[in-house]
Structure 1
Amino acid sequence: MNNRQPVTAQLRLLGTTDLHVSLTGYDYYRNVETVDIGLSRTATLIHQARKEVKNHLLFDNGDILQGNPLGDYAASSLFWQQDSELEGGEKVHPMYQLMNKLSYDAATVGNHEFNYGLDYLRQCITGANFPYTNANIYQTSIDTIDSSTDRGEGTTDTLLPPYLILERQIVADDGNIHPIRIGVIGVVPPQIMQWDKAHLEGKVTVQPMVEAVEYWIPQMREAGADVIVMLAHTGYVDSEDPGVLTENAVLPISQIQGIDAIFFGHAHKLFPSNEFAGKQGIDLERGTINGIPAVEAGVWGSHLGMIDLHLQYDNHIWTVQSGSSQLRAIYHREQGLASVEADTELEQIASIPHQIILDHIQTPVGESDIPLYSYFSLIMDSAYVQVINNAQVWYAEQALSDHAYGHLPILSAASAFKTGGRYGPHYYAYIEAGELTLQHTSDIYNYANTLCAVRLTGAEIREWLEWSAGLYQQIDLQSKAEQALINPDFPSFNFDIIDGITYQINVCQPPRYHPAGYILNPQAYRIEALCYQGKEIEDHSEYIVVTNQYRAYSTPFANPDGERVILDVPVENREVLIQYIREQKIIHPEADHNWSLTLGGSDKERASLSLQPTITMLSSPDAQKILSAYPQLSYSGINGEGFAIYHLKL
């Protein structure tokens, strides 16, 4: 009779995601220190979590190279001429200087890793002291970034090793040490082929994420992986729509047999959290999706993701018996207090690139004779967005002067990027009137998009605007309760304001489109009084709309048949903004109020029926300083997350 007790062990997996060049607690847009972002603070959580257990590994889930002025500057040749060396005289990107010090075990790439091109990605990854993996990007005409055997298993035509097998020693609960093989695999949305077409077309192809994972997982098991960790740079959507799931595919990925733990991201959300309550496959108490422990750690290092696995060893094979996940935060938003101090060693490493970028972003580019702010850009036209549209039209008029479609009216689409939401009550722009610097232009346009223009009909522009109008929740004129105007599930960076035409958005109508882009209410139309130069836009009339490559190549509303791009230039929209300001010297970007919100009907009709709904919206508490300019708005207090509540009369 064998009374031998099974060997068991605990394995802790730690993960970061969407760090976006947040080395330390510094907001380069507001030019202030902060305690709610930064890998130097996440590092303290990492140290603490490691001390609590015998066995641990640390992973990164991508999007580390782009996201603030430091990332943009690091991608320029100017940065690499500065003193950013480590041992051996090799130039190392600041993010990898910190990550190397933290001894990451493995990582995958996010979509923003491709914003600056493959050569730059190669240059950066060379400085990482840990291996990279990606299973769904294949080469078509370039060599692998690194296919050496110490970087991963297998020699395939994938851009990076399709998976890794990490050989480790694990301390069992009885104190004995055993070998274990950790399999790691990563995927990225195939939309990178549209978002960074200029960098990737003709060089790589991208397989759908679910197909890639289904193909490689069995091979990882055959290669001897005891435990398989999924680094999925993709978000969660509670949908069966295959088009939606091509970008946000963690739900179907969680159904693939053989995965033991999932780190996901891309959407900058927090899992487990109440935001996911009641959704398909979700167990918030255990932190699982379809029974698989999973975690999404927000953005900018705000949280550390943690998955604890309980293992059993039998016949020289480890198997996962159970697991759970949790988040740890560097900042308690409700209390307004930091939960940890920054790691001083990492702060010291970051101090050199930090000072370099501080000096750089103070470079002046021009002046504005009015302040620019984004506090209320989601509910009314603003100078903050107007200056982007002005700059885009200015550039396109020159670029299209001799173009075959140059005779068409030129419109411009732009978004208010910094509007709070899941990024918190400080994620707004406020720029005083006066000198504008490179820092300010990044505050206005904080993505590394490049400029494109598309040719659309009036009917297609209307549908684009209908999708954008999904930002708003439907207002019930009969309700006496407070009604929140903004739909928290609609990413505000998808709310495009199209300038050069006039229109109203009737928020009493139901939304025509779901935030993901499919039709919810086929008979619903929110866009009213859509006109060009005072005349109603005809469905068949044609226009040029200036936008960015993200919208032009990945949004069907901006490019219905994939053949509408008539201008695609390798110039960032932010650089267009800089050139425009320098050309103008002093800008006067007053909002032209070409769009507005309406409740439908006339003011007189609503007054006669006493239809005055109480509409609320969230914005920064700092917005109170400009509230006197907006009589339709009134301050109503602070909510539990630190946002100010404002009442709006329409």
Structure 2
Amino acid sequence: MKLTILSTSDTHGFVLPTNYVKRDQDLPFSLAKAKTVLDAQKAAAEGPVVTIENGDWLQGSPLAYYVAKISKQPDQLTRLYNEVGYDAGIIGNHEFNYGSDYLRQALKTLTYPTINANITENGQPAFGAPYQLIERSGVKIAILGLTTNYIPHWEAPAHIAGLAFQDVVATAKHYVPLLRQQADVVIVAYHGGFERNLQTGQPTEPLTGENVGYALTQVPGIDALVTGHQHRQLAGLVNGVPITQPGYRGEAIGKITLDLNQTASGYQVTASKAVLVKTGGSIASPTILQSAADLNQTVETWLDQPLAHVEGDMRIQDPFAARVHEVPYIEFIQKVQMASTDTDISGTALFNNEGRGFGETIDMRDVVTNYIYPNTLAVLRLSGADLKAALEQCAEYFSLDADGKLTVTPRFERPKPQHYNYDMYQGIDYTLDIHQPVGSRVTRLLYHGAPVQPTQTYDVAVNQYRAAGGGNFKMFGPDKVIRENQKDMTELIADYLQEHPLIKATADQNFNVLPSM
């Protein structure tokens, strides 16, 4: 007998095949296309099938933002996920972005169970049962739900108040032996990724605990491991355990096939295989298209609302160049952050390479497709030494190629793009000289024309992800936060635009990166 384990992960509310940059797109991803592929795989399977939603579904797309912040009716989104036919769902880190109250409200409207073993409240699992037991064709199947326990390093404290995030590997070691006594097959569904090279076992990132997928493959008794979080496309055997990670926005599904042999005591896994099935070439599920049609039309109309006009050019033609030489779009974001927090120093990132800045007319579509995260803002009180250390860490984004030209340091692009961990600052003047060794690249750092002093303090506005130390910025942290603005940054941008209906595109070039491009 064969057992098939299908999964999606990190769909981020992209129900339809569009990124909402413009109307009427048919891009190679979406929950709707994933459903088509899942349905086909279920129909073709040679035995029982289980289907898992592996987290990060509640936040990410403009549609998900509209549901959370404008209509405030999570069932508008969950009813679409209910149509896929999942057997179990996992909590992702982005599920907390709109607060745990909204998350709980959304979970109540799902028709499939959410499972999580390592997020606790008062010592008990906070979101559903720790695991799910399913019997299919006489095979007893256990699914253990786990979530990266690094969430407190990113999330606004108010969004996770009262919750404790237990060690993932320790939780697995506790539950897997218990599940082995009850089930023929033990599946771990983990919203997290891999910290080591899958072939050599060598670390591929700082071992912070954010990703422990490789360590999980070393826990005895796990028959299959479903992963996510890193948006990588992975499938294969790691330490003999079949693993999948199906990318981002429903661009692929994970498929693990276990060969089972019936014994006197039940079923035993005799062989396993893991592959990804791409969804891009499939048609979107007519069921989901029909169910989402009215909501999508409402969202598209909302996105087309004009907010302001631009005098000058705020487009981003080259994302890499925009990180080397300040562009008006970045300076605009800094102005919004400073105005919203009453500070005169601000740091922000160009989160990915998809944002294209603003054209002549700015509408909500421009706002939510450029500023893609539901961040709030925090003000950090930093020493000059902290500020310089943060800039030194940002300078690690750059390297020199064989010809001595600027390039992106590989770890910021692979295995997961992390352009969001390079910040640019406004309100200070600075130079990053990439000819210099790591840790000694800040060669100029001025505040109001005078050198920044190591022991002097400076108030700096950043998003709450960075304020908490997200991106491994250890010089930051909750203990240095002196005040917060709890309004979503997308709302702050929209408010600012409505108050300033004519935006002048300016960039004062307060920073430079050497060598020049």
Matched, 1:413 2:355: no
Classify 1:528/1:18 alpha carbon distance in 2 versus 1 (closer, same or farther; 3 Å).
Answer: same
Question: Secondary structure of the equivalent of 2:253?
Answer: strand
Pair 1:25 & 2:8 matched: no
CA distance in 2, matches of 1:326, 1:370: 49
- Between 1:360-369 and 1:564-573, the stretch displaced more is 360-369
User: For the residues of structure 2 that align with 1:539 and 1:533, how far apart are their CA atoms?
Assistant: 15
Q: Answer yes or no: is the 8 Å Cα contact 1:418–1:429 preserved in 2.
A: no
> Which one of 529, 552, 556 corresponds to residue 444 of structure 2?
529
CA contact (8 A) 1:164 1:185 kept: yes
Q: Distance in 2 between matches of 1:558 and 1:31?
A: 41
Task: Give the corresponding residue for 1:36.
Answer: 28
Alpha-carbon spacing, 1:76–1:469, altered in 2? closer, same or farther (3 Å): same
Does residue 495 of structure 1 match 2:463? no
1:477-525 deviations in Å (ceiling 9; x for gaps): 5x6xx88545323600111111111222222335x3xxxxxxxxxxx42
**Structure 1 residue 361, shift from structure 2 partner:** 1.7
1:589-628 to 2 correspondences below 5 Å = 589-599=505-515
Cα deviation digits, residues 176-222 of structure 1 (max 9, x gap): xxx11111112222232343334344421111211211111122223
CA distance in 1, matches of 2:395, 2:242: 36
Greater Cα offset, 43-52 or 371-380: 371-380
Matched residue type, 1:586: L
**CA offsets 1:357-410 (integer angstroms, 9 cap, x no match):** 11222223222223333333233211121111010111111xxxxxxxxxxx73
**Contact 2:468 2:477 survives alignment (8 Å):** no
- Residue pair 1:460, 1:557 contacting (<8 A) in 2 also: no
- Paired with 1:259 and 1:245, the residues of 2 have a C-alpha distance of 23
> For residues 246 and 35 of structure 1, what CA distance do their matches in structure 2 show?
34
One-letter code of the match for 1:93? Q
1:547 pairs with 444, 455, 462, which one?
462
1:64 alignment partner in structure 2: 57
DSSP 3-state at the match of 1:76: helix
Distance 2:284 2:161 in 1: 43
User: Aligned residue for 2:495?
Assistant: 579
**Contact 1:414–1:497 (8 Å) recurs in 2:** yes
Conserved in 2, the CA contact under 8 Å of 1:365 and 1:582?
yes
C-alpha distance in 2, partners of 1:436/1:200?
30
1:386-425 maps to which residues of 2 (within 5 A)? 386-397=331-342, 410-419=344-353
Structure 2 equivalent of residue 122 of structure 1:
104
1:15 aligns with 2:1: no
Aligned partner (choices 164, 171, 181) of residue 132 of structure 2: 164
Match of 1:578, as an amino acid?
A
2:486 alignment counterpart: 570
Residue identity matched to 2:468? Y
Cα distance change on mapping 1:373 and 1:311 into 2, 3 Å:
farther
CA deviations over 1:390-443 (Å, ceiling 9, x no partner): 10111111xxxxxxxxxxx73101011231xxxxxxx2324311x322221112
Residues in 2 aligned to 1:29 and 1:470: alpha-carbon distance in whole angstroms? 31
Normalising by structure 1, we get a TM-score of: 0.73
Report what 1:429 is aligned to: 356
1:158 CA drift (Å)? 3.8
CA distance in 1, matches of 2:401, 2:365: 38
Does residue 370 (structure 1) correspond to residue 307 (structure 2)? The answer is: no
**One-letter code of the match for 1:379?**
V
Unaligned runs of 5+ in 1: 1-8, 81-90, 142-155, 170-178, 273-286, 332-338, 398-408, 420-426, 513-523, 600-648
Distance 1:183 1:447, change over 3 A: same
**Aligned mates of 1:254, 1:557 — CA distance in 2:** 29
Letter matched to residue 445 of structure 2: L
User: Distance between the aligned counterparts of 1:324 and 1:508, measured in 2?
Assistant: 47
2:67 to 66, 71, 74: 74
Q: State which drifts further: 114-123 or 385-394.
A: 114-123
Q: Secondary structure at the match of 1:182?
A: strand
Code of the aligned partner of 2:336: A
Q: Which residue of 1 aligns with 2:80?
A: 98
Change (3 A) 1:309 1:195: same
Query: Which amino acid in structure 1 is aligned with residue 59 of structure 2?
Result: Q
1:320/1:370 Cα in 2 relative to 1: closer, same or farther (>3 Å)? farther
TM-score with structure 2 length normalisation? 0.91
Return the offset for 1:458. 1.5
8 Å contact kept, 2:116–2:125: no
Identify the residue that residue 215 of structure 1 maps to in structure 2.
Answer: 174
Matches of 1:190 and 1:76, distance apart in 2: 26
Moved runs in structure 1, 4+ residues, more than 6 A? none
